[in-house]
């Protein structure tokens, strides 16, 4: 049974959805004013792992991820470039979808854009106004935090009534806990906003950042839902203000489980342009690292532990992914191997006892994998269980003590785990006729003991990005 650490109650809790076998899940998506950086993708990969494991466990998951395409940053940077907000943000919307495809993130069921949900935001503000949670100052609508009992509960803030200064306001989208004040739901138009505004009953203006997520989650997931995820940097003020808005409007518990991933460091330091260690996903891939290595590194540490993203770590992650692929390749060669009698026991030393051992190992790795994942998505423990399994099966293959049928069972087990991990999906690879001919020529040269010619062909293939591995079970190829 899955247990997760609920930020709201600061403890591990057994996960129980509101509706049997169905999960409604919201995670804060990107603010599309630039390419997403690797810290952003830690949050997205963690949410992806959660969704995949819920689906692995038999749940039907309805996931929503918003796209913030109007806020202080998008307006500021679109004006710097001298182009319209929609044209500016669409560039980064498109890039984000390319990036999540690259990192093999499952697509959410809905990706709502803030600019397409102004009507829902106004309706939510009207509910808050009716419930006595708002006031208007200088044309902007503010949420009165003193009107909401237990404001700040998610962030562990415990304000007394006299600590919430009446009329103390903050108009910026982001601010620190020490500056907890009434926050903007609707911002009156400012000349700095240029042509970014909507005409509403509250006047000419635009939404605050926090109201966007409350309005969109309410539309697609309802007044109460199961899970909300994000980085710990969003606990205050964003998620704190979402709770105040949604519960203030509907009078119901907003979210049952809040899951937050820890910060990510880069080479031991906070990621910052000042430290020259700020990287987008595209920066890292341009250095020659593979998307699979990036994904593996991001998921290899439990989401509630700080992650130190290093380039040595990326190299080690690539080696781990390569080991898993090599293991699958060896297994598949056993699956395909046929002896002269076409008996399923294709390994010469196969015995019934080895069959029992394989079944026991598969049973154990399944139990260990699920035990670790049920323990607050302990991906590092789950990976350790898989590599222990691989070591045991590799020993059987080395002894030629594995049947094709048992090898197939092992392949299926690894592929089931990868439904959660998402690092072993093969690219659609096909050798063109020229490369196929080169491989055949090399085999012919080796049979004639013309090793110089065989080595030259190997080098030619390498130049085309194709690496060959000579194994006891034949030649296998892979992309370099």
Is residue 306 within 8 Å of 265, Cβ to Cβ?
A: yes
Q: Is 304 exposed, middle or buried (0-12, 13-18, 19+ CB in 10 A)?
A: middle
Q: How many percent of the chain have pLDDT more than 90?
A: 75
Ranges 71-80, 282-291, 314-323, 462-471: which has the least confidence: 462-471
Q: What tokens appear for 412 in the block?
A: 């299926």
Q: Provide the pLDDT for residue 290.
A: 94
Residue 446: other Cβ atoms inside 10 A:
17
> What integer is the mean pLDDT of 321-345?
76
CA of residue 180 relative to chain centroid, distance:
30
Q: What tokens appear for 95 in the block?
A: 């890039």
| Nearest Cα residue to 3 out of 421, 297, 370, 419 | 370
> What integer is the mean pLDDT of 118-141?
98
Q: What tokens appear for 93 in the block?
A: 């919307």
Is residue 32 within 8 Å of 89, Cβ to Cβ?
A: yes
41-87 per-position pLDDT tens digit? 999 999 999 999 999 999 999 999 999 999 999 999 999 999 999 99
Question: What CATH number was assigned to the domain covering residues 18-130+211-299?
Answer: 3.40.50.620
What secondary structure letter does DSSP report for 305? S
Q: Provide the pLDDT for residue 52.
A: 99
* Residue burial 53-82, b: 16+ Cβ < 10 Å; e: rest: bbbebebebbbbbbbbbbbbbbbebbbeee
For residue 459, what is the enclosing H or E element?
A: helix 451-463
Which residue bears the tokens 């009507």? 119
Q: Provide the pLDDT for residue 24.
A: 99
Measured distance CA(26)–CA(401) in Å, rounded? 48
Measured distance CA(241)–CA(235) in Å, rounded? 9
Which residue bears the tokens 């060896």? 330
Q: DSSP per residue over 40-60, as a string?
A: HHHHHHHHHHHHHHHHHTT-E
Confidence of residue 344 (pLDDT cuts 50, 70, 90): very low
> Which CATH architecture is the domain 312-421 placed in?
Up-down Bundle (1.20)
* Residue burial 375-405, b: 16+ Cβ < 10 Å; e: rest: ebbbbebbbebbeebbeebbebbeeebbbbe
Q: Catalogue the long-range contacts made by 92-96 (C-beta closer than 8 Å, 24 or more residues apart).
A: 92/30, 92/32, 92/33, 92/34, 92/35, 93/32, 93/67, 93/69, 95/35, 95/36, 95/282, 96/29, 96/30, 96/32, 96/36, 96/67
What secondary structure letter does DSSP report for 68? B
Is residue 431 within 8 Å of 461, Cβ to Cβ?
A: no
Confidence of residue 458 (pLDDT cuts 50, 70, 90): confident
Beta strand 255-261 with 140-143: parallel, antiparallel or unpaired? unpaired
The CA-based diameter of the chain, rounded to the nearest angstrom, is 91
Confidence of residue 108 (pLDDT cuts 50, 70, 90): very high
Is residue 464 within 8 Å of 455, Cβ to Cβ?
A: no
């Amino acid at each position: 049974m899955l247990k997760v650490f609920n930020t709201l109650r600061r403890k591990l809790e057994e996960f129980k959805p509101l509706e049997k076998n169905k999960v409604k899940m919201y995670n804060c998506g990107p603010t599309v004013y630039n390419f997403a950086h690797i810290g952003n993708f830690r949050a997205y990969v963690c949410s992806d792992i959660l969704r995949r494991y819920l689906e692995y466990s038999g749940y039907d998951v309805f996931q929503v991820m918003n796209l913030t395409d109007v806020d202080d940053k998008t307006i500021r940077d679109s004006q710097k470039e001298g182009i319209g907000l929609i044209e500016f943000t669409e560039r980064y919307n498109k890039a984000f979808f390319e990036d999540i495809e690259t990192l093999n993130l499952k697509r959410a069921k809905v990706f709502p854009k803030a600019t397409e949900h102004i009507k829902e935001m106004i309706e939510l503000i009207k509910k808050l106004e009716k419930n006595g949670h708002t006031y208007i100052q200088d044309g902007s609508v503010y949420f009165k935090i003193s009107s909401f009992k237990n404001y700040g509960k998610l962030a562990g803030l415990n304000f007394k009534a006299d600590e919430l200064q009446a009329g103390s306001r903050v108009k910026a989208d982001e601010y620190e806990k020490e500056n907890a004040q009434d926050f903007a739901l609707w911002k009156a138009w400012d000349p700095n906003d240029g042509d970014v505004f909507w005409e509403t009953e509250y006047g000419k203006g635009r939404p605050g950042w926090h109201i966007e997520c409350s309005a969109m989650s309410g539309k697609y997931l309802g007044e109460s839902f199961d899970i909300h995820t994000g980085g710990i940097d969003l606990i205050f003020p964003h998620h704190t203000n979402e709770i105040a808005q949604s519960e203030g409007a509907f009078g119901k518990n907003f979210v049952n489980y809040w899951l937050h991933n820890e910060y990510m460091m880069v080479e031991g330091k906070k990621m910052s342009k000042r430290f020259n260690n700020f990287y987008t996903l595209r920066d890292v891939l341009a250095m020659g690292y593979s998307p699979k290595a990036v994904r593996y590194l991001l998921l290899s540490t439990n989401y509630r532990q700080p992650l130190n993203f290093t380039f040595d770590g990326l190299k080690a992650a690539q080696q781990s992914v390569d080991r898993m692929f090599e293991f699958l390749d060896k297994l598949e060669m056993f699956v395909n191997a046929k002896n002269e009698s076409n008996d399923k026991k294709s390994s010469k030393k196969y015995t019934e006892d080895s069959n029992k051992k394989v079944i026991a190992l598969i049973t154990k790795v399944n139990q260990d994998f699920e035990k670790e994942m049920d323990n607050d998505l302990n991906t590092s423990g789950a990976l350790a269980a898989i590599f222990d399994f691989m070591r045991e099966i590799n020993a059987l293959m080395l002894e030629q003590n594995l049947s094709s049928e048992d090898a197939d069972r092992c392949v299926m087990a690894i592929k089931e785990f990868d439904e959660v991990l998402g690092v072993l999906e093969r690219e659609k690879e096909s050798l063109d006729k020229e490369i196929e001919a080169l491989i055949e020529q090399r085999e012919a040269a080796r049979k004639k003991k013309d090793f110089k010619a065989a080595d030259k062909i190997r080098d030619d293939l390498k130049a085309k990005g194709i690496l060959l591995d000579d194994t006891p079970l034949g030649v296998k190829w892979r992309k370099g």
